[in-house]
Each structure stands twice: as C-alpha cells, then as structure tokens.
C-alpha cells in the first residue's frame, strides 16, 4: 500500500511521464536481448505467482480503493454502538497515512483531492479523537470549505452525516420503500438498477423512510461555508428538462413522506427486509461487496433486528473479513474481494507462460474454480426466466449475482488445464457457456451481471449522483465473452456474430475501445483486439489496423503504456499516463494478437516489462488501473501487476494460445 503524498489538488496537464515516475527503474535491452530477457522475466514471474497460491488453490490480491470504505466502517460502528478502541485506532492510522500534503484525500493514486472522500475521512478522524485544531485537520477543513462545504458533497456522504444530525433528512433526495412494489415492467422498478445499486438502494429506502438520528459526539460547523445557513436550496431546472422533471418528482416524494399511509409503508419496509434477508450470502455478506452490507445492516437494525440476531451477527462478521491488517498496525477495508477473478487470470497467465497443463498448481486452481460454480438462479433470472443457471461470481460468496465477465474468463482458464476428471470440467464449461450466451442483451453486447439493464432513468434520479447505477453492455465484457465463445467453437454462432458486430460499431474514431471495468481505452482495446482475432477477423481488418495504429501512437517514450483515470473525464488524457505493468501488458496482448510480434512497439514494450521487473519476479504498481465506476470509484487490483505482465510475456515467448475447438455451433 502506498500513500499518495504528491499534494496535487486538481486536474493536471497531460504530459509524457518522466523516467522517475515509472514504478521502478527501467533496464534497457538491445533488440537481440529482448527475447532472452522476456523468457527470464517470465520464469521469475511464474515462480513468484506460484509462491502466492493459497493451499486451497485460489489466488487473491488486495483490492485497494479509497478511504471512504474505512470512514464508513467507523461511522457504521458508531451508529450501531459497537466501536472499539483498537479498531478505531488502526483505521485512523490508515486514513491519516492516505492524507496528502494539501490536507485532502483522493480516490486514486496521484488524483485530485475529492470533496466527499475528504469530508468522510475528516469525520472519521474526528471520531478517532483528532481535534479540529490539529494542523492536518485544519488543512482538510479549510479545503472543504473552499469547495462548498458539506452542502456540495454527494448524496451518499450527506446520508451518513444525516444519521448523526449533521445534515437534515429533509434536504436529501427521497427514495420511498414503496418502490419495492413496482412491477418489473414499470419504469424505475428495482430491477432497472444495476445489481450493485439495487442491493444498496433497497436498504436505503428503509433508512430514508425511518430517518434516524443518533446523537452526534461533536458538531461539524467547521465544514460548512456558513454555519448559520448550512443547507442552501438548489435552484430548480426547467420543468421541460429531465433534471427538472426529476426534481419535481423528488419534491412530490418528500410531500408523500409526510402522508404515506402507515399500513402501506410498514408493508413496504417489511417487504424490503424480506428482499434483503433472502439475498444474504452464506458468509453473511450481501453481493460480496461492502456497501450493500453496511446499508443492509443499518436498515435491518432500524426495523428491530438486534445485533445478536443471526442475520445481523453474520453480517457484522462478514465485514470483518473485508479488513486487511498491515504490518504497521493500520487497518484497510476492501470494498470487495476478487478470488475468482484473480484465480482465473492467474491460471491463464501461468498456462500461457508455459506451465504444463497438468501442473498441480493449475489442477488445484481448476478444482477450486469448479467448486465455486453457481448452479441456482439469481436476480439475473428476472430478465432471463427460462435460462438454466451456470457461471461464476467475482467473490468467494455471491450466488445471487454470477458475473458474465468472470464466467467467460473462468471458461478460458479451465480450457488451459488438463484435469483428471475431464467430464466434470466439460459439464461446468457447457453450463457456463450456455448461461453466458443467454445473457446477451438485445443490442448484441453483454453487461457484467444483467441482460438488457439499459434504462437511463435511474441515472436521472437526484438520489443517484455517484457512479454508475445501471449495467449496460460494455466493450470489455463483450470482448471476453466473444473470445470465450470463439474458443468454444462458436465463432460463427449467431450470438457471437452479433457480439462482433456490436464491438465493431463501438470502436472509437481514433481506433480504440472504451474500457468500462479497467482504465480505460488501453484496457478496452487490449480486451477487444484478441477477441476479434479469435472470432476470425484477420489482422488486416481495418478495425484491427486502426487499433494497432492507436496503440502505437500512445506508447510512452520509455516503451511502456499508461493511461490516467482522468481519461474518463478529460479527452486530453486518453491513452496518456505513467507507464504501468498492467496497462503495458494489455497493449502488448492486443498487439501480439494482431500479429505485431516483430514490431518495434512490441519489442520496446516487452523490454519495458522485463526491465522494470523486481528481482523477486514481481512488479510495483501504485497507480489504479481497475474501474468500479468510471472516475467515481477506482480500484488498484494488487494482482493485476503480476498476472497481466506474465500473460503478455508468455504469449511473446510461446506464441498466442491455441484453444480452438471444432464443431459446437449449436
């Protein structure tokens, strides 16, 4: 974990990174030495990765996000009255270590200070005993006031503050629990939201209806621009605009809150409670991610579930499993855990690097993945009721929401393993491929969790001012599915061809593809090009040539590739940023698939990977290259820096993987 201390406060001018900004010092190689250096680097990386496999067969790297996870964990404990000194001290140690010199907290390494993250971190440190007069706290408070104070923070931050009376519930958008009764065909029913938003919004409707206020241990007057008028009224947009329409809807819902029939409201909250409890996973969590778990616990507690109730006890225990304790005594909270994703990517990397397919590590990984298959319906069946289940989730436990992206990559990983029980593998792959194909949206693409989750109305709600709340098809997920179907012998299947057509239509004018779940156009392009080649497009196809030309045009002077998260907001950053191991690997995977092994760009990229590798076979990568919500929620997957470089090196040394099957076009 590396704290950001660069002190940056806003958007930076895009520029080529200097040599000192790369993760490690770069060793340069002559052209004749690159192949040998690549082979050595791959071997070291194989040994490094093998040494980090769990005895059960899985891999999992830390999933680093930002300090709002840690702050909200402390706020939850304060609200429920379960705070303890050691946890608070360890969380505060981590939060302080992430503060930058200007007093702010960012949401990704090297990024600008974020108002909501800074407010939540500040409040958490106040709970931990840091006084407002301390220099680091005063700097943060001054910065917050300069940017509009609490009133300018996102809705979710102000909800947390309302729980303690630091903000008025009347000044928050309304979301009534009665929406649980909206039929599945009605606009803004809960299944119009992406699964992560759905699991968060349902419990928050209960919290919004209850409007609890627990006594605050201190005031936050220092975070308002004018403590006497803390809640300025936002002017209304024109009634003819979508924004104006939803503002007026919100005012109507506020009025309804005051007159909502008691029996109907109680029935709605009870239905919401049943919905929440039915979706609690075996490990006590909800959806395998921290935010829905936090809000579900608050909602159920408000509905009378005491802390010793089995549902509550299991939920609280699950949150403790999101904690990563560091050697310095600090405690970091993961928003999620990624063992299935990490394991299938590690399996692919090791196999493509030349590990024999019946190697015990690969067989053990396959056994573990087979044990994680999901064979019962989940919420995805609302849109695909007749589709038989099959597939894999992202996390240890998330049976309600198998992940289309993970399922495609798990199948690609299993195909690389020679298993002692091939019939078991074939059956799992058959179920997974059938389910994945059936989750195709009407437009030909694939989203991450649901089919046809494309209504834009949820994004217009005043409540939804943070991150993505819908799950439309994306180029990266669609590419992984197309690649998997092609390797399953279905390159000419109607679904695969529709996916290819969708991808070709989504290519940007510059030749790149947008990256929804990774940063950003380098990730999208690195995912799509290998898929299109696997599906039968020739390397000479115009779309492939445009992609190759774009990747070559954005290669850094040091030979690597990098793209800053600001590319999600600012066009000038597209394809630009300090070189990173994972992004360099994505670019190389695309170029190698396109037949560019002998090109100067590939030679330089491979040289950069080999030259920046540490002696133990690892790479350093403080930059965030994973995406939860574009710009709003960024992720540093700590295993990305290992699995993707090894995959690229392995394909450079051993050639492209050959997993194609004949037949199976039905």
Place of tokens 């949206």: 441
Considering only the C-alpha atoms of the chain, give the largest distance between any 2 of them, rounded to a whole number of Å: 79
Cβ-proximal residues to 303 (8 Å cutoff; 6+ apart), any chain: 206, 269, 270, 273
CA torsion sign for 63, 67, 73, 74 is positive
How far is Cα 398 from Cα 607, in angstroms, rounded to an integer? 40
Taking each helix axis as running N to C, give the angle between helix 521-534 and helix 581-593, from 0 to 180 degrees, rounded to the nearest 10: 30
Catalytic one of 192, 405, 450, 471: 405
Give the bridge partners for 332, in sequence order: 324
In 3D, which of 301, 319, 291, 322 has the Cα closest to residue 120? 291
Does 405 participate in catalysis according to the annotation?
A: yes
3-class DSSP string for 402-435: CCHHHHHHHHHHHCCCCCCCHHHHHHHHHHHHHH
CA 492 vs. chain centroid, Å, equals 32
Positive or negative torsion for Cα 262, 263, 268, 271: positive
* DSSP, residue by residue, 525-563: HHHHHHHHHHTT--TTSHHHHHHHHHHHHT--TTS----
CB 532 within 8 A of CB 544: yes
| Contact criterion met (CB below 8 Å) for 633 and 471 | no
- Count CB neighbours of 2 within 10 A: 13
CA distance 209 to 260: 10
Q: Which two tokens stand for residue 200?
A: 């968060």
**Which bin fits 324, alpha (ψ -120 to 50), beta or left (φ > 0)?**
beta
Active-site residue numbers? 405
């Amino acid at each position: 974990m590396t704290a950001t201390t660069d002190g940056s406060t806003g958007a930076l001018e895009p520029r080529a990174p200097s040599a000192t900004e790369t993760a490690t010092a770069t060793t340069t190689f002559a052209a004749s030495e690159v192949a040998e250096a690549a082979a050595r680097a791959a071997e070291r990386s194989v040994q490094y990765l093998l040494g980090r496999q769990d005895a059960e067969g899985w891999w999992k790297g830390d999933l680093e996000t930002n300090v709002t996870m840690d702050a909200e964990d402390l706020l939850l404990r304060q609200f429920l009255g379960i705070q303890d000194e050691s946890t608070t001290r360890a969380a505060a140690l981590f939060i302080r270590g992430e503060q930058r010199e200007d007093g702010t907290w960012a949401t990704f390494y090297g990024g600008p200070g974020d108002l909501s993250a800074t407010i939540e971190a500040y409040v958490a440190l106040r709970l931990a005993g840091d006084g407002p007069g301390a220099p680091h706290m005063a700097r943060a408070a001054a910065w917050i006031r300069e940017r509009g104070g609490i009133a300018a923070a996102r809705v979710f931050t102000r909800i947390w503050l309302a729980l303690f009376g630091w903000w008025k519930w009347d000044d928050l958008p309304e979301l009534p629990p009665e929406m649980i009764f909206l039929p599945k065909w009605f606009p803004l029913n809960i299944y119009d939201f992406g699964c992560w938003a759905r699991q968060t919004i349902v419990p928050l409707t209960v919290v919004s209806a209850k409007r609890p206020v627990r006594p605050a241990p201190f005031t936050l007057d220092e975070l308002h621009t004018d403590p006497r008028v803390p809640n300025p009224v936002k002017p209304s947009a024109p009634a003819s605009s979508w924004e104006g329409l939803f503002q007026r809807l919100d005012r109507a819902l506020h009025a309804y809150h005051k007159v909502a029939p008691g029996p109907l409201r109680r029935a709605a909250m009870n239905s919401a409670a049943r919905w929440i409890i039915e979706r609690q996973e075996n490990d006590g969590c909800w959806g395998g991610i921290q935010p829905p778990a936090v809000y579900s616990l608050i909602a159920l507690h408000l509905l009378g579930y005491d802390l010793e109730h089995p549902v509550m006890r299991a939920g609280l225990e699950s949150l403790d499993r999101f904690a990563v304790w560091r050697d310095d005594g600090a405690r970091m909270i993961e928003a999620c855990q990624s063992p299935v994703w990490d394991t299938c990517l590690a399996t692919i990397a090791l196999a493509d690097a030349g590990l024999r397919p019946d190697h015990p590590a690969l067989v053990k990984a396959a056994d573990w993945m087979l044990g994680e298959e999901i064979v019962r319906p989940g919420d995805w069946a609302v849109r695909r009721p007749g589709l038989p289940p099959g597939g894999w989730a992202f996390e240890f436990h998330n049976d309600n929401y198998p992940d289309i992206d993970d399922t495609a990559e798990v199948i690609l990983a299993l195909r690389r393993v020679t298993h002692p029980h091939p019939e078991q593998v074939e059956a799992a792959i058959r179920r997974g491929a059938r389910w994945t194909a059936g989750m195709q949206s009407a437009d030909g693409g694939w989203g991450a969790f649901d089919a046809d989750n494309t209504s834009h109305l949820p994004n217009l709600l005043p409540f939804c001012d943070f991150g993505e709340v819908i799950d439309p098809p994306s180029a990266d997920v669609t590419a992984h599915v197309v690649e998997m179907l092609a390797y399953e012998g279905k390159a000419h299947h109607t679904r695969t061809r529709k996916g290819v057509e969708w991808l070709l239509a989504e290519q940007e004018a510059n030749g790149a593809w947008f990256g929804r779940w990774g940063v950003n156009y380098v990730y999208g392009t690195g995912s799509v090009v290998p898929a299109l080649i696997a599906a039968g497009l020739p390397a000479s196809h115009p779309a492939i040539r445009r992609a190759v030309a774009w990747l070559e045009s954005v290669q850094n002077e040091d030979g690597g590739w990098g793209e800053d998260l600001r590319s999600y907001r600012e066009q000038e950053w597209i394809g630009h940023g300090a070189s990173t191991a994972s992004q360099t690997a994505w670019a190389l995977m695309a170029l190698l698939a396109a037949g560019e092994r002998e090109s100067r760009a590939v030679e330089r990229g491979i040289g950069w990977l080999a030259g920046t590798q540490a002696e133990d076979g690892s790479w350093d990568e403080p930059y965030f290259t994973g995406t939860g919500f574009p710009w709003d929620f960024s992720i540093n997957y700590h295993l990305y820096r290992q699995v993707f470089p090894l995959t690229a090196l392995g394909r450079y040394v051993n050639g492209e993987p050959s997993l194609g099957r004949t037949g199976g076009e039905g």
